[in-house]
Structure 1
Amino acid sequence: MALYDVTAAIDYALSTTGNTEVYYVGFSMGTTIFFALMSEKPQYAAKIKAAALMGPVAYVENIKGPLRLLADYSNDLDTLFGLMGQYEFLPSGPEMDYLAQNFCGVDDKLSPVCENILFLISGFDEVELNKEYVPIYLSHTPAGTSIHTVNHYGQLVLKGVFQMYDWGRIGNEKHYGQGEPPMYNLHVDTPPIALYWGQNDWLADPKDVARLSSELKNVVVNQRVEHDQWNHMDFVWGIHAKEYVYEYLINFLSKY
């Protein structure tokens, strides 16, 4: 995603508009992709005016919830799902849509269960959750991703580092020409970076964000969201995301 997808998106935007730079706004995995991009293709730093990163994820040693439990089995995920011919993790589908629409409405008895499914992923914050939209959220969350993506994060949880995908010794020799995956370099030159993070974020834990920010060279904003229960998904659908995050983010970008 860092080497091909986001570079293609940036280059397409620049060639279409005639501009020489773009703004980069990333959330969650979008921030991981940014850090990998800066490490592996540092020339793209010159194409980005500034980067606003919400719920930044590079180090994940302190994540909480079910994804932390999955990390213990990360080395077996590829093998197990490959044997079953399954390469997508938690894809969305009609079954989940049906359950969301018929059992997760505000007045449904199972509504609290539906809400807790979301909270178990990102951290608990009832104040910022628009309960009327829970059926819609669950129709799109989780939305499916590559088994390799989930496995990669699991590897990073267990190892406590920010490095490339571990294919095993033989696979690493094939992909990287060495037995261990190379580390991503967080010390490279980057455009100005703003980090926005929540105290109750289970996926971008404050301790991991602090470690990340200490290694980046050009952090000009390192902002804790001023709501103690702010969780990971609040950046996307929090009722007051505009006031807590987006207005600050737009103000940051306007300076560049």
Structure 2
Amino acid sequence: MAERNGYETKEHTVVSEDGYILKLFRVTSSQKGNSGKKQPVYLEHGILLDSDIWTFIGHRSLAYSLADDGYDVWLGNQRGNPYSRGHKTLKYTDGKYWDFNLDTAMTNDIRPVLKYIADETGMGGSIIYAGHSKGNTLMFMYASEYPEEAESLLKGIFALSPIAYMEPQLHIKLGYTVLPTLGKYLKAFGIKSVFLHPKIVQRFLLFICPNFPHICEFIVYLASGKPAQFKPDDLLNFFGHFPVTTGKFRKFDYGRRKNAKVYGQNEPPEYDLGKIKVPAYLLYGKNDIYTSEKAIKRIYDELGSEKKILLKIPEDNDEEKYQFNHNDFFYARNITTFLYTVMRKFMQDDLQPNGE
């Protein structure tokens, strides 16, 4: 995709402490100039997705826009997605491969990747982190669990569709109820994983989406919210790369007995957002079906960052046809005008590299 759009990518590999082989992509602009040391920007995807979300809508893609602006762009891939399915000893078809939670993914994926980028670029303390959805959840966990380390590596955080506390719409809540039970039945029948063969899914959708586009658009609605900003031309691109809340933001709940062994208490400890000191920009959409302005305001209020911004995208525009949903932050029709302009201003005004 990068080559098709006139960009170059270089693959980097980071091996986590627990053996997962993670792939990073470093994006280089074909435009001349900006040959000096560039400020690194690290982009982290959300759940069920991969680094392709930052590149798949052609020149409207965030990775290309940042590269053209002169930034050193790094794309992350969390364990288990198609780019990061390697392991030193396990196969991704092994059940044990998938025996991890967000806490272990944060500690063993986010931490070493950020350190790797700092070492490769020599720009520790100047890295800008931009995450979507779960990519923000992992960052909030990291920056609250290792606040001094986060400050030493990061210049600022862009949280796009930020998730820590969730207030989802009804059909998403029903999913929370049904999916764990479904998972137990699948496991009982020996089915260890789903979406492991994306090519089969893609072939199916190559038939469905052109012939019955409303079906695919409805799936986008279920997964993202009102598709007011969605371009039908992006349907195949989107699907081609798509493989019980407590009201608290806390570590994995193993159950009372194991919690006592792991944490030394019956209930899992909460992540303290007040420990986060890195400047944070929370950018959200009115039509997000996974959270609400109230839930995001709660994150904002609890953040310990001296510099923090809470902003609806699009800013100063309440027309319904322009309102962002959960996934519009990587594919919206007007993404360059409504999102990139805002990010660019904050990056230029507030987040220049250390020493500049």
TM-score bracket for the superposition, by shorter chain length: 0.7 to 0.9
More helix by share: 1
Residues 103-139 of structure 1: CA distance to partner in whole angstroms, max 9, x if unpaired?
202xx2x11111110111110123x111122122112
Q: Give 1:214 shift.
A: 1.3
Are the equivalent residues in 2 in contact too, given 1:66–1:121 (CA < 8 A)? Answer: no
1:135 corresponds, among 220, 236, 240, to 236
Amino acid in structure 2 at the alignment position of 1:119: Y
Q: Distance in 1 between matches of 2:342 and 2:302?
A: 23
Question: Aligned to 1:195, what secondary structure does the other structure show?
Answer: strand
Q: CA 1:63/1:38 → structure 2, altered by over 3 Å: closer, same or farther?
A: same
Q: Distance in 1 between matches of 2:226 and 2:249?
A: 27
Q: Work out whether 1:224 is the aligned partner of 2:312.
A: yes
1:199 corresponds, among 266, 282, 286, to 286
User: TM-score with structure 2 length normalisation?
Assistant: 0.62
Q: CA RMSD in A?
A: 2.0
1:180 corresponds, among 248, 267, 271, to 267
Which segments of 5 or more consecutive residues in structure 2 lack a partner in the other structure? 1-104, 352-356
Where does residue 160 of structure 2 map in the other structure? Answer: 54
Are the equivalent residues in 2 in contact too, given 1:162–1:183 (CA < 8 A)? Answer: yes
Are the equivalent residues in 1 in contact too, given 2:297–2:310 (CA < 8 A)? Answer: no
Larger RCO (CA within 8 A; separation ≥ 6)? 1
Q: Distance in 2 between matches of 1:117 and 1:90?
A: 16
Question: Aligned to 1:3, what secondary structure does the other structure show?
Answer: helix
Are the equivalent residues in 1 in contact too, given 2:220–2:227 (CA < 8 A)? Answer: no
Amino acid in structure 1 at the alignment position of 2:312: R
Where does residue 213 of structure 2 map in the other structure? Answer: 111
2:258 corresponds, among 157, 171, 188, to 171
Where does residue 333 of structure 2 map in the other structure? Answer: 239
Q: CA 1:176/1:83 → structure 2, altered by over 3 Å: closer, same or farther?
A: farther
Q: Give 1:72 shift.
A: 2.2
Which segments of 5 or more consecutive residues in structure 1 lack a partner in the other structure? 144-153
Amino acid in structure 1 at the alignment position of 2:313: V
Amino acid in structure 2 at the alignment position of 1:224: K
Q: Give 1:197 shift.
A: 0.4
Q: CA 1:181/1:215 → structure 2, altered by over 3 Å: closer, same or farther?
A: same
Q: Give 1:217 shift.
A: 2.1
Q: Distance in 2 between matches of 1:86 and 1:176?
A: 31
User: Which of 1 and 2 has greater Rg?
Assistant: 2
Where does residue 150 of structure 2 map in the other structure? Answer: 45
Q: Give 1:20 shift.
A: 2.1
Are the equivalent residues in 2 in contact too, given 1:3–1:41 (CA < 8 A)? Answer: no
Residues 50-80 of structure 1: CA distance to partner in whole angstroms, max 9, x if unpaired?
11110000001x1125432122246646644
Question: How many residue pairs are counted as aligned between the two chains?
Answer: 237
Percent of aligned positions with the same letter in both sequences? 25
The within-5 A match list for 1:49-128 is 49-60=155-166, 62-64=167-169, 66-73=171-178, 76=181, 79-88=184-193, 90-91=195-196, 93-105=198-210, 108=211, 110-126=212-228, 128=229
User: TM-score with structure 1 length normalisation?
Assistant: 0.85
Where does residue 252 of structure 1 map in the other structure? Answer: 346
Question: Aligned to 2:163, what secondary structure does the other structure show?
Answer: coil
Q: CA 1:9/1:77 → structure 2, altered by over 3 Å: closer, same or farther?
A: farther
Are the equivalent residues in 2 in contact too, given 1:124–1:231 (CA < 8 A)? Answer: yes
